[in-house]
Chain A
Amino acid sequence: MKKLTMFFAQVLILASVAVAQQPNVKLAAAMKTAMAAYDQARSPAEVQQVANQWERIANAEPGQWLPAYWTTYTYLMLHYRSEDDKVRETALDKTGEWMEKTEKMQDSNDEVAILAAWYYQARLGESPATGWARFGGKVSRNIDKAKQLNPENPRVYLVEGQNIYYTPSAFGGGKEKALLILKAGDEKFAKFVPVSDFHPNWGKSRLDKLITACQSAN
């Protein structure tokens, strides 16, 4: 009798675990494919395909912040990678749309704040003359927020350093100041462990490039 009870208990547990896990397994598989596709993507058209892939996942999983985050990220990368003005512009609009959705889900998340800071940097870069007044505050506000939430996140320093790097020295920017921040980021990268394979872990190679650029002669 006891054996039989044990058996049914085991079946029940297994079944419920399987049912509960099934969507996550499916989601994990889809995210894994999309991440691999992003690594393979070379042309802007391919990046657009990955963005679509992420967007499909994000639309099907409205409660999950990671697909929304990666959709935002991929569109931001499409903005930077494309040389077609129309694509750059529409990609940035898409970034903004998904950024907003991601922020709504994760109000106090350092990774989300970092991505938001970068997004506003991109907005600023589109219209340097008027951009400072409109987006400058949003960039620094998000950097401050991310640093407060998690000072150990290396991407905070990447985005902050990148911000300083592109700011003229007359406004408190410049290579020397940027280098200090970027080096701090480099140390944080050495210690950084992502929460899972699906959590953000990007930025090291970009950081290295920026450090090299800072160290090169003016």
Chain B
Amino acid sequence: MRIFLLIVNLLFGVLPGYAQAPSQVSGRITDRAGEPLPGANITVKGSYDGSSANAQGHFKFSTAETGQVVLVASFVGYLAMEQKVALTGLPVEIDFKLQEVANELNTVTISAGAFEASDAKKMVMLRPRDIVTIAGANADIFAAIQTLPGAQAQSDQEGLFVRGGAASETRTIIDGTIVQNPFSSNSPDVPARGRFSPFLFKGTSFSTGGYSAQYGQALSSVLVLNTNDLPDSSQSSLSLSAVGVGGSRTQRWAKASLAAEVDYANLGPLLALVPQNVNWLQSPKSLGGATNFRFRPNDRSIFKVFGSYREGQIGIQISSFDNPDQLSEFRNRNQNLYVNAAYEVFFGKDQQWTFTGGTSFSRDLDQIDWDVNRLGRSEERWQARGVISRQLGENSNLLFGTEIHRYSFGNSFNEFGYQKQDTYAAAFMEGDIYLSRKLAARVGLRGEHSKLIGRANLAPRLSLAYKTGPYSQLGLAFGHFYQSPENRYLFTNQQLDFEKAVHYIANFQVIKTERTFRVEAYYKDYQQLVYERRQTPYVPSRFRQPTGNTNNQGYGYAQGIDVFWRDQKTVKGLDYWVSYSLVDTRRLFQNYLAEAVPTFIARHTLSVVARKFVSKISTSFNASYALASGRPYYNPNNPEFHGDRTPAFSNLSLAANYLTRIGGNFTIVVLSVTNVLGRDNVFGYRYSADGRNRAVVGQPAPRFFFAGVFITLR
């Protein structure tokens, strides 16, 4: 009986796979070019048996597995490869040639026209943090973007003026939907800040043209912002600065997070300290709050809600548009509400399908008192959007989407009021097609319809990219872009057509980890621009309400070259970038008297941004310098329309960020000075009707100072 037990024991316990002698497996693992891959792993699938490739790529092992088995060769950065073999106890010899996984070095990216700031990729031109710390930008996304090529360095009005385009030609998009009013309450001659903190976003993509069919209603440019996912941990923060106070609280749970912040800003004390060129009737002040909810039920989906509300006031005395010798009083009270909900889910086999949906609502109200007149401006936009995309193969994908907007807008002037509503709908499809890892095409088509003007359009988009080396690539882009006429024209004329721009772009870029070079040339053909039949006298104010007849007979062009160079290597610890833009543009639109260079265009713009971190004193020193050639202005004495140029613009800004701890809490102390040299920049002149007198439109103050403390409480 004992013997029997022993046999049972042996059978089940000690001698598995005893039937056959082990098989010897050997061979070589290389890449496609035959170069050895030392350290590559080879295994009999489902078993522990296997080995590693040596320095020459050779491997050899023995296995007790028998019959038909699958051998798997794998190496980091390469696609695993499987081969079936029969193990019979005889030696097996087998070679593997592995293919590299598509990565940023061996695969082209479609990038013509776009500047991307992201943490998710290894090689991008910018990181989100770069945007936050630019000297002079004072953590304003839009001011930071102005240091990039293609954008004008503007200091007298808000907005991004891209490649010859007006500010109204750039759209800001958060999580897929358009933000109706991304700037805080504005006033003449003074640029307003962006409403949104740069810390809200994990990725920023600034397109200077030729952008995706996913976006419309922008003739020149889109700024696409994607909000953060769940924060790492719960925390609170406090900020105390020369311009206001603020606080926030973020609560993190396993699958969700909720954040709320509130801030009060008042430039009054600072403006009282620093001599001002203008008389502030109401120093800019605002009270606002934002809340942020994130829910990630599993790793395939995320749901985000963002809401913000802000009330602001500003009052300024400026030279009158009618008579520059007189002062005119302008006051604005602004209320802005913005709510955005977005949902993203991956589904299907291998999760190759993605659905992203979103809805947003924004409402913006301006109540303006301008001397004896009372002006009102209101805008409301509700949007819904859905996009479905499918991954095809390694890199390619195809997407379809649709969006619908209800947009109502109104203007009032004393007792007169206008109110209009539009229903705008769009559908789009786009394919990223990788013909090989070196050659890719993005083909898109977007169709739009506006109920108010009763017009539809069809906009083709095409972008090509070809990889010329491990770090370099060439790109081409072409596209049609449409935009509804400005509100102020739609009140009086609903027969207008969309305005149109056609973009042609060619670019070349070299991106290495610590050095980036990029040059882009473009030609832009403006068509169907809104044009007002000639009126006299000519009124240069951008705030006037046009009353005459309008049509779509305006036109224009813009062409130029943008250059970008970033270097984090040459001088240790120093990171700098240089942008240069040349733009040659003329147009006939709005109430222009002749085809001319618009007043918002500087032909040459140079921008240098540098930063150095001195770890000994935990301080980062940042500098930025902008130089722009003079801009045209209207002079009634000059027979040539826009025949005069202002002096060149320049601005040197410095900032220091000192990192420390206060009571164990991470703290940043920021000091910054904008326009350190106190250069007296002139943005234009305002002439009296008879052309005899003029007033300078300049900076509200020669310098702007900022000091603040930001504390993160854990």
Q: Which of A26, A53, A93 lies at the interface centre, i.e. has the most chain B CB atoms within 10 A of its CB?
A: A53
Q: Which A residues are in CB contact (< 8 Å) with B43?
A: 56, 59-60
Verify if A111 is at the interface (C-beta below 8 Å from B): no
Asked if A11 contacts B129 (CB within 8 A), the reply is no
Assuming the contacts A45-B39, A52-B41, A90-B77, asked whether A130 and B129 have C-beta atoms less than 8 A apart, the reply is: yes
Q: How far is the CB of A42 from chain B (nearest CB, A)?
A: 15
Residue count of chain A within 8 Å CB distance of chain B? 40
> What 1/0 mask marks residues of chain A from 38 to 54 whose CB sits below 8 Å from any chain B CB?
00000001001100110
Verify if A147 is at the interface (C-beta below 8 Å from B): no
Q: Identify the stretch in B165-173, B416-424, B658-666 within 8 Å (CB) of chain A at 4 or more residues.
A: B658-666
Asked if B618 contacts A60 (CB within 8 A), the reply is no
Assuming the contacts A45-B39, A170-B659, A171-B661, asked whether A52 and B9 have C-beta atoms less than 8 A apart, the reply is: no
Verify if A22 is at the interface (C-beta below 8 Å from B): yes
Asked if B119 contacts A130 (CB within 8 A), the reply is yes
Q: Which residues of A contact B (CB under 8 A)?
A: 7, 10-11, 14-15, 18-19, 21-22, 25-26, 30, 45, 48-49, 52-53, 55-57, 59-60, 87, 90-91, 93-94, 129-130, 133-134, 137-138, 140-141, 144, 168, 170-172
Asked if A18 contacts B12 (CB within 8 A), the reply is yes
Complex: how many Å from CA A134 to CA B129? Answer: 10
Complex: how many Å from CA A174 to CA B47? Answer: 47
Q: Which B residues are in CB contact (< 8 Å) with A133?
A: 129
Asked if A10 contacts B16 (CB within 8 A), the reply is no
Complex: how many Å from CA A141 to CA B46? Answer: 36
Q: Which B residues are in CB contact (< 8 Å) with A57?
A: 48
19 contacts between A and B (CB under 8 A): A7-B1, A11-B5, A14-B5, A14-B8, A14-B12, A15-B12, A22-B13, A22-B16, A48-B38, A52-B39, A52-B41, A56-B43, A59-B45, A60-B46, A87-B39, A168-B615, A170-B618, A170-B660, A171-B666
Asked if A60 contacts B47 (CB within 8 A), the reply is yes
Verify if B346 is at the interface (C-beta below 8 Å from A): no
Asked if A55 contacts B46 (CB within 8 A), the reply is no
Q: How far is the CB of B668 from chain A (nearest CB, A)?
A: 11
Nearest 10 CB-CB pairings of A with B: A137-B232, A18-B12, A52-B41, A48-B39, A170-B618, A90-B76, A18-B13, A49-B52, A56-B43, A30-B48
Verify if B49 is at the interface (C-beta below 8 Å from A): yes
Verify if B233 is at the interface (C-beta below 8 Å from A): yes
Asked if A94 contacts B659 (CB within 8 A), the reply is no
Q: Which A residues are in CB contact (< 8 Å) with B1?
A: 7
Q: Which B residues are in CB contact (< 8 Å) with A94?
A: 76
Residue count of chain B within 8 Å CB distance of chain A? 38
Q: Which residues of B contact A (CB under 8 A)?
A: 1, 4-5, 8-9, 12-13, 16, 38-39, 41, 43, 45-52, 55, 76-77, 119, 127, 129, 231-233, 613, 615, 618, 659-661, 664, 666, 714
Q: Which B residues are in CB contact (< 8 Å) with A22?
A: 12-13, 16
Asked if B52 contacts A52 (CB within 8 A), the reply is yes
A15: which of B8, B55, B231 is its contact (CB, 8 Å)?
B8
Assuming the contacts A90-B76, A90-B77, asked whether A141 and B48 have C-beta atoms less than 8 A apart, the reply is: no
Complex: how many Å from CA A45 to CA B41? Answer: 12
Assuming the contacts A45-B55, A56-B41, A129-B613, asked whether A171 and B659 have C-beta atoms less than 8 A apart, the reply is: yes
| In the complex, residue of chain B having the shortest beta-carbon distance to the beta carbon of A10 | B5
| In the complex, residue of chain B having the shortest beta-carbon distance to the beta carbon of A90 | B76
Q: How far is the CB of A47 from chain B (nearest CB, A)?
A: 9
Assuming the contacts A11-B8, A18-B13, A140-B233, asked whether A49 and B127 have C-beta atoms less than 8 A apart, the reply is: no
Q: How far is the CB of A143 from chain B (nearest CB, A)?
A: 11
Q: How far is the CB of B650 from chain A (nearest CB, A)?
A: 29
Asked if B5 contacts A55 (CB within 8 A), the reply is no
Q: Which B residues are in CB contact (< 8 Å) with A134?
A: 119
Q: How far is the CB of B683 from chain A (nearest CB, A)?
A: 36
Q: Which B residues are in CB contact (< 8 Å) with A129?
A: 613
Complex: how many Å from CA A133 to CA B615? Answer: 16
| In the complex, residue of chain B having the shortest beta-carbon distance to the beta carbon of A4 | B1
Q: Which of A25, A133, A138 lies at the interface centre, i.e. has the most chain B CB atoms within 10 A of its CB?
A: A133
Complex: how many Å from CA A157 to CA B51? Answer: 36
Q: Which A residues are in CB contact (< 8 Å) with B41?
A: 52, 55-56
Q: Which A residues are in CB contact (< 8 Å) with B38?
A: 45, 48
Q: How far is the CB of A35 from chain B (nearest CB, A)?
A: 13
| In the complex, residue of chain B having the shortest beta-carbon distance to the beta carbon of A170 | B618
Complex: how many Å from CA A134 to CA B118? Answer: 11
B12: which of A19, A59, A144 is its contact (CB, 8 Å)?
A19
| In the complex, residue of chain B having the shortest beta-carbon distance to the beta carbon of A19 | B12
Assuming the contacts A90-B76, A130-B127, A141-B232, asked whether A56 and B49 have C-beta atoms less than 8 A apart, the reply is: yes
Q: Which A residues are in CB contact (< 8 Å) with B129?
A: 130, 133
Complex: how many Å from CA A168 to CA B616? Answer: 9
Assuming the contacts A11-B5, A14-B9, asked whether A141 and B233 have C-beta atoms less than 8 A apart, the reply is: yes
Complex: how many Å from CA A56 to CA B55? Answer: 20
Asked if A56 contacts B16 (CB within 8 A), the reply is no
Asked if A171 contacts B618 (CB within 8 A), the reply is yes
Asked if A18 contacts B9 (CB within 8 A), the reply is yes
| In the complex, residue of chain B having the shortest beta-carbon distance to the beta carbon of A92 | B76
Asked if B664 contacts A60 (CB within 8 A), the reply is no
Q: Which A residues are in CB contact (< 8 Å) with B9?
A: 14, 18
Known: A129-B613, A141-B232. 15 other contacts (CB 8 A): A11-B5, A14-B12, A52-B41, A56-B50, A59-B43, A60-B46, A90-B76, A90-B77, A134-B119, A137-B233, A138-B232, A170-B660, A172-B661, A172-B664, A172-B666
Complex: how many Å from CA A30 to CA B16? Answer: 15
Q: Which B residues are in CB contact (< 8 Å) with A144?
A: 233
Asked if B48 contacts A49 (CB within 8 A), the reply is no
| In the complex, residue of chain B having the shortest beta-carbon distance to the beta carbon of A15 | B12
Q: Which B residues are in CB contact (< 8 Å) with A170?
A: 618, 659-661
Q: Which A residues are in CB contact (< 8 Å) with B16?
A: 22, 26
Complex: how many Å from CA A22 to CA B10? Answer: 12
Q: Which B residues are in CB contact (< 8 Å) with A10?
A: 5
Q: How far is the CB of A146 from chain B (nearest CB, A)?
A: 14
Q: Which A residues are in CB contact (< 8 Å) with B615?
A: 168
Complex: how many Å from CA A14 to CA B9? Answer: 7
| In the complex, residue of chain B having the shortest beta-carbon distance to the beta carbon of A48 | B39
| In the complex, residue of chain B having the shortest beta-carbon distance to the beta carbon of A27 | B48
Complex: how many Å from CA A177 to CA B714? Answer: 18
Complex: how many Å from CA A170 to CA B13? Answer: 61
Complex: how many Å from CA A130 to CA B38? Answer: 32
Q: Which B residues are in CB contact (< 8 Å) with A14?
A: 5, 8-9, 12
| In the complex, residue of chain B having the shortest beta-carbon distance to the beta carbon of A61 | B48
| In the complex, residue of chain B having the shortest beta-carbon distance to the beta carbon of A67 | B48
| In the complex, residue of chain B having the shortest beta-carbon distance to the beta carbon of A11 | B8
| In the complex, residue of chain B having the shortest beta-carbon distance to the beta carbon of A12 | B8
Asked if A56 contacts B77 (CB within 8 A), the reply is no
Q: How far is the CB of A98 from chain B (nearest CB, A)?
A: 11
Q: Which B residues are in CB contact (< 8 Å) with A7?
A: 1
Q: How far is the CB of B254 from chain A (nearest CB, A)?
A: 9
Complex: how many Å from CA A26 to CA B46? Answer: 13
Complex: how many Å from CA A19 to CA B269? Answer: 82
Complex: how many Å from CA A121 to CA B618? Answer: 20
